[in-house]
Amino acid sequence: MKHLQKKIWLLAIVVLIIMVIIWISLTYYNQKMQDQYNQILERYLIINELNMVSQEMVTSLNAYLLDPSDANFRTIERRKNRVGQLYDQVTAFRNTDNESELTNYTNLTASLIEMTERSVNFQISDETDTAKAALNEAIHIADYVSEMRLSVIDKELRTYDIFYREMIERSEKLTELGVWLLVTIILMLLFFTYWFSLRITKPLEKLTESAKRLSKGQFDREIEADSKDETAILAKTFEQMRININNLFIETTQKAKLEAELQESKYLLKESQLLSLQSQINPHFLFNTLNTLSKKAYLEGSEETSDLLVSIADLMRYNLRHMDKPTALHEELYVLNQYIQIQKARYTDRLTFVTEIDEACLDVQIPGLTLQPIVENAIIHAVEPSEDGGTIMFRIKNALNHVVIEVEDDGPGMTEEKIDALMSARAVNSEKGTGIGFKNVVQRLKLFNSSDHVVDIQSISGKGTKISLFILKERSEMGYDQSSYSG
C-alpha cells in the first residue's frame, strides 16, 4: 500500500505547506510593522537625548568656568563627544518632509558645539570675560535647540501620522485577508480531498467494469490501468489473464491460416532465391558487354552511340571504384564530363554546360562522387522542367587555403525555407539519379574537411541558384571513411 500512503502523505504535506506559508507571511508582516514602529520611536528618543545632553553640556561648561579643573574639563569633552555622535545620527534622519526643520536643528546643534569649544578655549587662555560671554551665547543657543526640538518632533508627528493611519488600514486589511485565506484554504482542502478520492475510486470503478465484461466473455477490450498504485498491479493482473484467454481462442482459429501462409512463404522463398541469383551478375561482364557494344557501334559508323556507351561504362566503373575513397579533382571532373555527354544526348540543345576551371586546383583531393550529384540536381530542377532548357555554369576557383567549386543554374530558384532545410540537413534524399542526394554530399564533405563550413547556397526566385563547395587544399588526416554515406 505504499502508493496509497504516498497520496495520503501528499495531501498532508500540501496542507502543511499552505499553513506554513500563511504563518511565515503573517510573521513577516508583523515584524515589518514592528521594525517600522521601533525606527520611529528611536528617532524620537535620539532627538530628546540630543536636547538633554546639550543642556548637560552647557551646565558642565558653566561648572568648568567656575572651577577650571581637569575633571570638569573631561566632563565637558565627554558630553561634547556624545552631542557630536547624536548630531550625526539626527542628520541621517533628514528627508524631503523634514529637511527645513531638521537642517535648522542640526545647524543650531553645530553652533552650540562650536560656542562651547570657544568658551573653553577662552577660559584656558585666561580670557574670563570673553569665556563668560561665550557661555551666555551657548545658553541662548541651547534654548533655541530645545525650542527647535519641539518643532522637529511636531513635524515628525505630523509626518508619521499618515504612517499610523496606514498601519490601521493595513491591520484592517490583514483581518480581511485572514478571512479570505481561511475561505481559500477550505476550498483548496475540499479540492484536494476530492482529487485524492477520485484518484483512488476511479481506477477501482474501471476495474469493476472490466471484471464484469470478462464475466460475460468479452475478451477483446483492453483493461486500462490509469493509476500507478496498487490498483494498477491488480489491473495488470486482470489484463494478463484476459490476454492469455484471448490468445487461446485466437490460436485455435489461426492454425489453418498458418498452414496456408507456410506454403505461400515457401513459394516466395524460392522466388526470392531465384531473383537473388539473377541479381548477382558480375559488373565486369556488364562493362565488357558495354565495350563490345561500343566497338560494334563504332564499326557500324554510329560514333555518337559508341561514345555514349563508353561514357556510361566509364561512369559505372568510376562509381563502383570511388564510392568509398577520396580521389583527385581532375578524375571527378573527367567523370563529370562523361556524365554531361550522356545528359546532352538526352536534352540536346536544351542543356548548355559552361565551365571555368583553374587547372592549378585539379590535383586537390575530394570525396568520390561529389560533383555529379550536385550537377545532376541542377539539371533535374533547372533544365528538365523548362521547355527551353537552361544553362549550368561550373567553376573551379583557387582561394587562399581552399578550392571553391561553384554550380550555378538559371532555373526557378529556391525558397528560404528550402535553403534552410538543406543547410540544416533536414532535407530528404528523394532526388532522382544517383540517389546520393545533397545531404549525403554535405555530410561526406564535412567528414572530409573536418569542418562544418563546406557549403553555401545563394538563390533568387526566378533567376537561379548557386551552390558553392569549399575543399581544403591541405586537411588533417582524421581517418576519413565515407562508406557510411555512400548510399
pLDDT, tens digit (0-9, with 9 covering 90-100), for 18-45: 777 877 877 777 777 777 667 777 777 7
The answer to whether residues 414 and 401 touch, using CB atoms and an 8 Å cutoff, is: no
Among the ranges 188-202, 222-236, 337-351, which has the highest mean pLDDT value?
Answer: 337-351
User: What value does the mean pLDDT take over residues 260-283?
Assistant: 48
Three-state secondary structure call for residue 216: coil
Q: What does the longest C-alpha to C-alpha distance in the chain come to? A: 148
Average per-residue pLDDT in the chain? Answer: 75
| pLDDT band at residue 251 using 50, 70 and 90 as cut-offs | confident
If you count DSSP H runs as helices and E runs as strands, how many of each does the chain have, helices first? 11, 7
User: What value does the mean pLDDT take over residues 241-257?
Assistant: 76
The pLDDT of residue 119 is 81
Least confident stretch, 116-130, 330-344, 402-416: 116-130
Q: List domains and CATH numbers for the chain.
A: 2-191 (1.20.120.230), 351-475 (3.30.565.10)
The pLDDT of residue 271 is 47
Q: Using the 8-state DSSP alphabet, how is residue 380 labeled? A: I
The pLDDT of residue 264 is 57
pLDDT, tens digit (0-9, with 9 covering 90-100), for 276-314: 344 444 454 455 556 666 656 666 666 666 666 666 666
The pLDDT of residue 409 is 94
How would you classify the pairing of strands 326-328 and 390-398?
Answer: unpaired
Residue 151: closest CA among 211, 101, 98, 115: 101
**Res 393 pLDDT > 90:** yes
The answer to whether residues 222 and 239 touch, using CB atoms and an 8 Å cutoff, is: yes
User: What value does the mean pLDDT take over residues 238-258?
Assistant: 75
Q: Nine-digit cell at 327?
A: 580521389
Least confident stretch, 174-178, 215-219, 332-336: 215-219
Q: Which letter, b or e, does each residue of 160-175 get, where b requires 16 or more Cβ atoms within 10 Å of its Cβ?
A: beeeeeeeeeeeeeee
Write down the residue that cell numbers 570675560 correspond to. 129
Percent of the chain past pLDDT 70, that is, above it, reads 71
Size of the chain in residues: 487
